[in-house]
Chain A
């Protein structure tokens, strides 16, 4: 099967009534462009969100739509070609964080971000996930279960090392555990302290918990690359690991898309209800704070907060970080667009993993920079390692005085007896 046919197969797979409705509904009003950081910051109409999924729409019209026979017979939509697929590559990958601002503005109720995710299925099948380095990482993840090739054994070793270094007791591969935390590969590379932080907090509250080396790497690069098979495989291993130790709560790390995948997609691809709850780490902390299980010290600082798009706008977990910061006594100066209306850091959805997309990311970051500086706080907290890294990189290039920090680590550093 050639690449075009593969792309077509990827496009039409799993088109249900909801996606079909989205593909049918566009009236070409152009509002989605005004919500997208890439259009707003560049003025390039090609970055209009609904335009990014044009090939998906055309394929739908020709193959799946109610008038498919007419589209084909009268040639009302162009046939997919290798050239156009390539032409659309940077629209589908480089210039979309799947952040969902467009889905929030669309007057027809089209979930454009979801459509981009689906479009990536077809692009991936045609081998068009940008190789440097999103595509390469996805391939590694599909082959080994981790984008950096981290094996279960290595992970176990790593955890013990981190435990020793930070002076926390690590629990690994316990037979039974109520709470199973997972990690993001960015944490492995860049923020190992967050793994120590999780352990510290869970030990402190005395929960029954354990990392599982047979299912740990949650950030699912395959999802952002559009590799459905890889996506499902990662998810399944984590779900099975949690089931394996009869977990009650599966905890997603400071990460965006891992939450989207595990909280809102996993059960659907698994085909049945999950026997455990899925919480992002901030949700877990907020819950424990509200129940009194977790007590924190007061900190005196002013800070602002950057919401991870997948957790807040797409995931519905906007309140949790605020509960935590209020308990910590942080003087929170919200960004002008905060919570669900937040602007994406520019790195989400795999864009941070596309080297050539750096200029675009910089443009998106400029928006964040303006808003964060306008909030007049010394620190910007976030609960997503992807955002954290993107903001740090951008801040460094901008010569920032603002500190980017993790909310999880702030809690871990301020536990009260």
Chain B
């Protein structure tokens, strides 16, 4: 999914979603290089998700009796 940074106010970026509504997103969750007008592409990183799942499962496997 994609959305567009309309502007920055305080600690937030105000972004336009694909349904043309606007929401606040903390600046900390926006790439620092993203300027007003940037199109942000949000997607699930499957590889990282699987790697994190495996890592956590391994950690849990060591801890649960």
A and B together in one complex: no
A-side residues, CB < 8 A to B, are none
B-side residues, CB < 8 A to A, are none
